[in-house]
Amino acid sequence: MLTWVDLLALMVLALSLALGYRGGLVLAWVGLLGLPLYAAALALGLPAFWTALALGLVLGALAKSLPLFLSEAAERGLGLLGGGLLGLFLAAAIWTGFPSEPAPSGGIRYPSLRLPTPIYQGVAQSPFARRVFAWAWGTPWARKALGLEGQHLR
């Protein structure tokens, strides 16, 4: 059964798809070029804020100044693909954004038991949140891109 966390993440994914369809090439640049560059820059150890700011400025300037002559259907298709990738990233950020804590067995507990009960139940009963967190925690570039390092409650 879907919880409020899943509905929020899936709504963001749907809105990103719609925005990609309407935005065309701008969202194609963000999703197809910006997200991989952002993940690669964070894997190299660059600070997240300045990396995102620089990529946003450069990709925004490129999107507005580089003349690409594509049909409307091709622009919308690329925008849909870029918006979908951006939506998946944002949905993963929602599913993994709740605090975790070190478990007594030496592993990691997600979500933290110190969360308020309604929030804990929404995340714990989600069919996606723990799977996405486990995938992101085990993937070094996803762990850095989603900001999971150092977020544990003490």
Per-domain boundaries in the chain: 4-145
Report pLDDT for 150: 64
Tell me the β-bridge partners of 108: 102
Sequence-distant (6+) residues with CB within 8 A of 106 are: none
User: Given pLDDT bands bounded at 50, 70 and 90, which one contains residue 120?
Assistant: very high
Place of tokens 């935005």: 23
Sequence-distant (6+) residues with CB within 8 A of 77 are: none
Q: Using the predicted structure, report yes or no on whether residue 6 has a pLDDT greater than 90.
A: yes
Quick: pLDDT tens for 124-146. Answer: 999 999 999 999 999 888 888 88
Quick: pLDDT tens for 33-89. Answer: 888 898 888 888 888 889 989 998 888 888 778 777 888 898 899 889 999 999 999
Q: How far is CA 136 from CA 23, 53, 66, 78, in A?
A: 28, 23, 34, 26
Contact 133/96 with Cβ under 8 angstroms? yes
pTM: 0.85
User: Given pLDDT bands bounded at 50, 70 and 90, which one contains residue 154?
Assistant: very low
